[in-house]
Amino acid sequence: MRTKSSGAKVLKKATRPSQEALTRAVKEKALSLGAHLVGVAPVERMESAPPELHPRRLLPEARSLISMAYRINRGIQQLHLRGPSPMPFSRFAGLEPKIRLDDMALDLANFLEDMDYISLPIPANQYYYQEKGVGEISHRHVAMAAGIGRLGRGGFLVTPQYGGAVQLISVLTTASLLADPILKEDPCQGCPQPCVSICPVQALRRDRDRVIVMDGKEYRYGWLSYLRCQWGCGGMVMGDRFYALSDLPMPSLEEEDDSEQVRVEFLLAGEKRFPWDRANRAAFQYNACSKCYVVCHPERLKKGEQQDR
């Protein structure tokens, strides 16, 4: 019996595309699947990644990285910033885009495998190392390597088209694809940095940076207090800009970016949550904050600049 995959296999060996044609086909496929942005990077751009986040830990033969971004709806952004309800943002900016991105990545990987290129989709925003709170790979670093955007003051990816309001996913492949250039412009340059001012727990700072090396060049982006962000986005702080059920004081830690210690403190604090919170937290999840990257949008910042003038 003849199947789709066997038919594609016969075709691909007879008409193997050029590198340029293959790259174009991959990008067209990604966009047709629903991605709003797509970029390609050689795996070498991730050479400075720590071993536990290096793409070749997952696919040793990987030659190219494909990054896809899905934008967050503007109406949902505006509602989330006003604060009347957390549910549309939780569903349509958190859960649904990740489900769609997972489907896109699997379909794109299968598209490449039909042409004999082993390809591995990496789930969107899933923990691999629970103690450290990190995933299988850093999708934001892959997206920067692929030219989709740059890491900004908030530590998240900032794109010229949608600001920080995107969800990301990556596909590793043995295919040799044409790389996109790393974005030269710094989208945070000259920005009033509303991501810093909107954070109620002061997880972001204007005077502290992280530095990464990519393609032999140093890039700076904002330092994030893992402790404060975990406490705020984890639903431990109540207030005008949070959707939390419990209000618990943050522990005092010398190193606020010691992720393992922060996770321990967060789990211990879970026993002190309000009864309703403890009873229901496992039954449903929602994004408690995330306003730093939602407030980061080119149109919003442009209007702010015009008002300042």
pLDDT one-digit tens code per residue, 139-168: 999 999 999 999 999 999 999 999 999 999
Residue 41 counted as domain residue: yes
Q: Residue ranges of the alpha helices (H) in the chain?
A: 4-14, 19-33, 55-58, 74-82, 87-89, 96-113, 139-145, 194-198, 226-233, 259-269, 275-280, 291-294, 298-308
140 burial level (CB within 10 Å; 0-12, 13-18, 19+): buried
Contact 31, 38 (CB under 8 A): yes
Could you give the number of structural domains in the chain?
1
Q: Tell me the residue range of the domain where 29 lies.
A: 17-224+291-308
Longest dimension (CA), the chain: 70
Residue 265 structure tokens: 């403190």
Domain assignment present for 201? yes
Q: Work out the angle at residue 19's Cα, subtended by the Cα atoms of residues 13 and 20, and round it to the nearest 5 degrees.
A: 125
pLDDT given at position 10: 42
Residue 66, helix vs strand vs coil: strand
* Structural element, H or E, at residue 219: strand 217-224
Which of 243, 262, 242, 241 has the alpha carbon at shortest distance from 251?
262
pTM of the model: 0.87
Q: Is 255 contained in some domain? A: no
Q: Higher model confidence: residue 195 or residue 287?
A: 195
Is 6 within a domain?
no
Residue 230 domain-assigned?
no
Query: Does 97 reside within a domain?
Result: yes
Query: Could you give the CA distance from residue 197 to residue 206 in angstroms, rounded to a whole number?
Result: 10
Task: Collapse the DSSP code of 32 into the 3-class scheme (helix H, G, I; strand E, B; otherwise coil) and give the result.
Answer: helix
Tens of pLDDT along 236-295? Answer: 887 765 667 788 889 999 889 888 888 889 888 888 888 877 777 655 555 568 889 999
Instruction: Identify whether 79 is part of a domain.
Output: yes
Q: How far is CA 41 from CA 31, 66, 85, 163, 176, in A?
A: 17, 7, 38, 20, 10
